[in-house]
């Protein structure tokens, strides 16, 4: 509960969600994405 409280999404991220981002990054749809970090934090910002 302490881990989830500060996350606006209200839950932890599932491995499948990370995998779908990785698959998208490997696809032609992400050809223009270079040199960036994509946070997967459920809306939490620091």
Contact between residue 21 and residue 38 where contact means Cβ atoms under 8 Å apart: yes
The pLDDT assigned to 6 comes to 85
Domain ranges across the chain: 1-26
Predicted confidence (pLDDT) per residue in 8-34, tens digit: 888 888 999 999 999 999 999 999 999
Q: Distances from the Cα of 2 to the Cαs of 11, 27, 45, in angstroms?
A: 11, 36, 16
Instruction: Say how far apart CA 19 and CA 3 lie, in whole Å.
Output: 22
Taking 80 as the threshold, does the pLDDT of residue 45 lie above it? no
Instruction: Say how far apart CA 20 and CA 9 lie, in whole Å.
Output: 18
Instruction: Say how far apart CA 18 and CA 24 lie, in whole Å.
Output: 10
């Amino acid at each position: 509960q302490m881990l989830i409280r500060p996350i606006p999404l209200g839950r932890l991220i599932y491995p499948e969600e990370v995998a779908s981002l990785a698959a998208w990054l490997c696809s032609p749809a992400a050809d223009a994405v270079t040199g960036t970090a994509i946070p997967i934090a459920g809306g939490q910002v620091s």
